[in-house]
Structures are given as structure tokens and as C-alpha cells.
Amino acid sequence: MIYIYFSFIFFALGVLTTFYRKVSYIMATIGSAFPFLAAVAGMHTSFTSNVFVLFNGFNLSVGVDHTSAIFLLIASISWFTISLYSIDYGMNYSKKMPVFFNAALFGMFLVLIARDALTFISGWEIATVFSYLLIMEHKHSFKEAFEFLAFGEISTVSLLVAFASLYLENHSLAIVGSHGNWIFLLMATIAFMAKMGIYPLHTWLIGAHSRAPSNVSAFLSAPLTLMGVYGLVRVLSIAGQPEWWGVLAMIFGGFSAFWGALQAAAAKGLKILPAYSTVENNGMILATLGLSVVAYSANLAVLSSFAMITTLILLFAHNTTKSLLFMAVGQAKEALGEDTIDNVRGVWTAVGKIPAISILISGLSFSAFPPLIGFLGEWMTLEALFQSYKFPSILDRLSAVFAGILIALAMGLAAFSMVKLTGYTALGYDHGKKARTIPSFTMRLSEIILSLIVVLTGFFSPYMLKYFGYGTFLSGLFGVPKPFLIVSSHPVFGVVSPTFLTIVIGTLFLFPLAFYLQKLRKVKRVSAWNGGIALKEKEYFTAPAYSFTLEYIMRKVYSMKEIKVGNKRYVSVKDVTTLFYSGLKRATEIVAKFLSLTLMNGHIYSYVLYTMIMFILLFFLIK
């Protein structure tokens, strides 16, 4: 319990020392280490603070149990590395930024340790408001920040309705040991889906990431969306695990994964592509969580358990890898002063080998390259979906098949988009632009730490499953000693050993590597294929050209348009979901104007009539 108090103290010190930015970020880094220790302590032994009674049914308390410990463990890794990264990166922004940063960390920490609705909603709102202020740290970002805040407040209002329903049923706001009805579950689900960026509530992610400072983008994409997943897991423990919820979660999750990957494949912005990747990753997380619920309803305990650990592995992979990706591209963006994939080329030579390797590792992980942790998450996702034939209900089976098809397509599109991102930035030809010299020691250190985590947790993933409490899915078959073989069911359905797969692939790789090194001087390099036409000087194959074929085939979905500027031609694509929100905005403005002219017309009798009508309505509602 003492670790929780130490976190509070250091986050508070981070706020108080804001005029010394590096000291403030150091306080945030130290404060982020204590939640990790609290998670380790609470993994097997739950603990709760003394309950502070406000009045009957309204109690305040914090604590850690097995569920919150897992999420706290995952979140604290991102908090620590992003805070460490910010020690140098934050010097490019104002002295107010550390205040907002420490306060947002405190809010998220409060969400994960809250044992009652009042503490939970307080942490939720603190994290939302100060994240909004963090986005505002970037110039000309008011529109994107306000959009983030609007979706954040939709989430908060939905939570207030959900917790009001919980109180009416239990006469208590405890979120552990209470029972919630379908209204509570539905409203809480909307709130948490908005925070996760699930389609169609995802549009805030894109604008916020494109404008926010890169440490804030990592902050929003990984630990903040993790709060939504934690909320879903927590409310399912309160409201039970109804079958209808699982079916809807699979459908929305599958489509969200596909839509995010499809938009990422066409993205040209350096941080827009990872933002859409977040929509894809969180869609897969929601779908596997829904699969776990459906399996539980069908009394398929083994499949339900496997789908749940799949959700946690996907969550861990996304949290660590996406933090790494945003920090690495953020360093390149800051050094080169560019924000498109095409213009941030040659990171290896222009910016440095560490950010280039970090982009490469994160891209490979999201492309399911073994043995990285992203590979394990996607393998487990497909294995869980393949077992949907066990569902007794035809609706459940069809829903799982629908989600499985979309997720499989999403995985292919994700690999396509990550090849574009890593190929043009980390491995692309140097464009000759000189990078700006910026302090980057802690930035590189944080990237090294996360790169090692992404690689080593994939290699030693069996121990992660065992530590999370899912050791039943570890075995030893086909000459692989226990516990290095991961099985997806009992009896055995599918198996994989990331550890031994790495050893085999690494051994086989030595032979072509030795041959390549021996013949290095004889390797012939040729220019990119350009339809038989010779490339002109300074002409190269661009990132838009890479994805143009896909964009043209899917031009109706992408709402593709040709733009003419002088004698140049290029195409633009858009997320058609934004058209709905644009129409909603215009309709709201029209209605607001009509109401303001009708009710606020300067006539006293209109105000009196309005007051009387509202009084009568409230009287009957209260009665």
C-alpha cells in the first residue's frame, strides 16, 4: 500500500517543481515506477486502503486486486518510459506541460486503483481534462484538442448515467462486489469504447495524434486507451458476462480493426498512420474480449480463459509497441521538422540508428514478425477465433466468423502499412536534409528499454502467461520442453513456441547471412522499377505511390479525389466517418440557431412560458 502513497507524493512533487522542467519529468518518472511495484505486490495479494465514508452509500477507497494489478503493470511500463523520454523531449515545450503531464498520470493511476465510482470518475475526468491541455501544448491544435475533449465528455456523461444506475440498484457506488443491470453495462460500454477509439467513436484519435506533441501521442494511444479496456473488464465483472454483449463486441471490434487497418494503409502522415493502427489494435482487443464473454456464456471455460489471456497479450503488445513507435517517429519528426512519411526519410543516417531500429522493431511487431510480442498476440487471436466452431449458437458462430474475416484482413493491411512506414522512414533513402541537434539521451534510453521489452517479452512469453495466472496453456510437446510450448486449448488445438521458433529461425538465418557477407562485394543494386521508364534525378518511389493501387481499388470507400495544383496531380483520401460528424455539426448549429432565435427572442412571455413548461415536466418526472 505504501507504493501507492509514494506515487501520489512524486506526482505532486512533479506538479510543484514545474518551473524546473527536467526535475518535474524526473519526478514523473520516479512516480511511475511505484505503480509497477504496487502491481507486483498486488498480483497475488489484494489490498485496499481504509474506506473514507462521505455519507451512506458514498464511500471513497483505493486498492489493488489481481485484475487491476495486471493493468497497472502494463500501464506503468508506458508511464515510466514516456516520462523518461519527456525529460529531454519536454524541453521543446512550455513550463506548463509538466504540470499537465503529472496530473494526467495521477488521473490514470487513480482510475486503476479506484474501488468506488466516485474515485473512478474523478480519476477519469482528471485524465481527460489534463490530456486536453497536453494536446493544446502544440500550436494551432485547438480544434483537435476540443474534439478530444468533446468525446471525452461524452464518455464521462455516459459513465455518470451508468454509475447512477449502479447506485439505484445497489444503494452503493462500490465497483467491487456490486451488481449492475443492462443499462449500467450498455452506458459504461459506450463510455469505454469512446476512450478506446472504437469505430465509429474513433475520429478524435486521428486529429489529436496529428497535432499533439509526440510524447503526448504515445500517452494518448497506449496508456489512456488502456483505461477503456480496463473499464470494460471491470464492468463485465459487475454486470456479468451476457451473451449479447459478447456478440456486439466481436462485431464492433472486428469492423473497427478492419477500418483502422484500411485507413492506416492509405495514411501519409507520420503520426496519422500509427493513430489508425491504434483503432485497429483496440478493435482486436475488443473482439477477443467479446469472444471470451460468448465462450463463458456457452460454458466453454477453456476457450473463454484463452480468449481472455489473448486480450491481455494484445493489450501488452499494443501498449509497449505503440509507445515505442510514437516516441521513435516523434524524435525523427522533431529532429527533421517534418510530419509526412515521405519527408522523414533516412532516419538511420539523418537522425540516428536507435530511433531507426526502434521504428523497425515496432513495425515488425505490428506486422506479426516472430518472436516479437505482436506476433504472439496475433497468433493467439486467430487461434481463439478458429475455435468458434465450438459455440452451440449459430448466431455466435456467424458473429465470430464475421469478426475473424475482418481481423484477418486487418492483419494483412496492418503489415502493408507498417512496411510503408518503416521502409520509408527507418530504412528509406536519405533525402539529404540535415537533422536539428536536440538533447536526446533520455529519448534514446527510453527507446532502448522499450525495444528490449518488445523483443524479450516475445522470446520469454511463456513466463508472461504463467505470471499472469494462465499457466494451464503451457505445455511441452514435439520435443519442446515445458513450459516453452503455448497451447490454445485442452485437448490440444494449436501450438506455438516463440522461444524455440526464434532459435530455429536464428540458426537457419546464419547460413544466408554468412553467404551474403562472403559475396557482399558482388551484390548488384538496381533502381526501383518504374514501368520501364528511367528514373529522373532526385526522383524516387513515394509513399503515396506505394499505396495508390489499394486506394484506387477502394476509391469509393476512401472517397478518393484527384487534386490539381499547377502541372502537378495527386490524390486525396478521407475517412468517410468524418462526413457523418460534419453533418451532425451542421445540424446542431442549425437547431441551436433556431432555438436561440425562438426562445431567446427578448420577449418576457417566452421566458415565462419556457420556465413553466420545464417546471411542469420536472414535477411529473420527479413524482
DSSP readout, 168-211?
A: HHHSS-BSSS----HHHHHHHHHHHHHHHT-TTS-HHHHHHHHH
* Residue 537 belongs to a domain: no
User: What sign results for the dihedral spanned by CA atoms 132, 135, 136, 142?
Assistant: negative
What is the tens place of the pLDDT at every residue in 25-44? 999 999 999 999 989 888 88
Predicted confidence band of residue 377 (pLDDT cuts 50, 70, 90): very high
Q: Say yes or no: 297 and 422 in one domain.
A: yes
Q: Are 99 and 86 in contact (CB under 8 A)?
A: no
Q: Say yes or no: 270 and 321 in one domain.
A: yes
Q: Pick the closest to residue 280 from 373, 147, 190, 408 (CA basis).
A: 408
Q: Say yes or no: 299 and 392 in one domain.
A: yes
- Per DSSP, what are the bridge partners of residue 114? 62
- Calculated CA dihedral for residues 258, 261, 265, 266, nearest 10 degrees: 70
Residues in the chain: 623
Q: Pick the closest to residue 88 from 358, 332, 346, 446 (CA basis).
A: 446
- Cα–Cα distance measured from residue 194 to residue 200, given in angstroms and rounded to the nearest whole number: 9
Please state, in angstroms and as integers, the Cα–Cα distance from residue 279 to each residue in 229, 263, 533, following that order. Answer: 13, 10, 39
Of 469, 484, 512, the residue that ends a domain is 469
Q: Say yes or no: 96 and 184 in one domain.
A: yes
- Bridging pattern class, strands 63-64 and 58-60: unpaired
Domain count, the chain: 4
Mean pLDDT within 456-471: 91
> Can you give the pLDDT at residue 209?
79
Q: Say yes or no: 392 and 441 in one domain.
A: yes
219 has a pLDDT exceeding 90? no
- What SS3 state is found at 500? helix
* Residue 200 belongs to a domain: yes
pTM: 0.90
* Residue 529 belongs to a domain: no
Q: Say yes or no: 65 and 100 in one domain.
A: yes
Q: Are 367 and 418 in contact (CB under 8 A)?
A: yes
* Residue 475 belongs to a domain: no
Mean pLDDT within 292-302: 93
User: What sign results for the dihedral spanned by CA atoms 252, 254, 257, 260?
Assistant: negative
Question: By mean pLDDT, which of 94-108, 116-130, 165-179, 315-329 is the weakest?
Answer: 165-179
- What SS3 state is found at 559? coil
- What SS3 state is found at 384? helix
Domain that holds residue 130: 1-235
> Can you give the pLDDT at residue 622?
62
Burial class (CB in 10 A: 0-12, 13-18, 19+), 500: middle
Give one DSSP letter per residue of 439-455, joined into a string. --HHHHHHHHHHHHHHH
> Can you give the pLDDT at residue 50?
65
Of 191, 206, 235, the residue that ends a domain is 235
Q: Are 260 and 276 in contact (CB under 8 A)?
A: yes
* Higher local confidence (pLDDT), 509 or 49: 509
Q: Are 341 and 333 in contact (CB under 8 A)?
A: no
* Residue 506 belongs to a domain: no
> Can you give the pLDDT at residue 171?
80
Q: Say yes or no: 184 and 295 in one domain.
A: no
Q: Pick the closest to residue 426 from 360, 515, 521, 517 (CA basis).
A: 360
Mean pLDDT within 455-465: 92
Q: Are 400 and 333 in contact (CB under 8 A)?
A: no
* Residue 63 belongs to a domain: yes
Which residues, at least 6 apart from 525, have a Cβ–Cβ distance to it below 8 Å? none
- Cα–Cα distance measured from residue 113 to residue 208, given in angstroms and rounded to the nearest whole number: 27
Please state, in angstroms and as integers, the Cα–Cα distance from residue 335 to each residue in 46, 270, 434, following that order. Answer: 45, 13, 9
Q: Say yes or no: 229 and 249 in one domain.
A: no
What is the tens place of the pLDDT at every residue in 464-510? 999 998 989 998 887 788 888 999 888 888 888 888 888 888 888 88
- Cα–Cα distance measured from residue 131 to residue 273, given in angstroms and rounded to the nearest whole number: 21
What is the tens place of the pLDDT at every residue in 559-610? 888 787 777 777 888 878 887 777 877 888 888 787 777 766 667 767 777 7
Predicted confidence band of residue 336 (pLDDT cuts 50, 70, 90): confident
Which residues, at least 6 apart from 516, have a Cβ–Cβ distance to it below 8 Å? 523
> Can you give the pLDDT at residue 609?
78
- What SS3 state is found at 329? helix
Q: Say yes or no: 184 and 251 in one domain.
A: no
Of 235, 251, 272, the residue that ends a domain is 235
Q: Are 202 and 260 in contact (CB under 8 A)?
A: yes
* Residue 532 belongs to a domain: no
* Residue 376 belongs to a domain: yes
What is the tens place of the pLDDT at every residue in 384-434? 999 999 999 999 999 999 999 999 999 999 999 999 999 888 887 777 777
Q: Say yes or no: 347 and 393 in one domain.
A: yes
Which helix (H) or strand (E) is 58 found in, with range? Answer: strand 58-60
* Higher local confidence (pLDDT), 611 or 242: 242
Q: Are 115 and 175 in contact (CB under 8 A)?
A: yes
Q: For the chain, give the percent of residues with pLDDT over 70.
A: 94
Q: Say yes or no: 409 and 331 in one domain.
A: yes
Q: Say yes or no: 77 and 117 in one domain.
A: yes
- Cα–Cα distance measured from residue 165 to residue 189, given in angstroms and rounded to the nearest whole number: 14
Q: Are 239 and 551 in contact (CB under 8 A)?
A: no
What crossing angle do the helices spanning 225-239 and 182-196 adopt, rounded to 10°?
A: 170
> Can you give the pLDDT at residue 54?
63
- Cα–Cα distance measured from residue 52 to residue 32, given in angstroms and rounded to the nearest whole number: 25
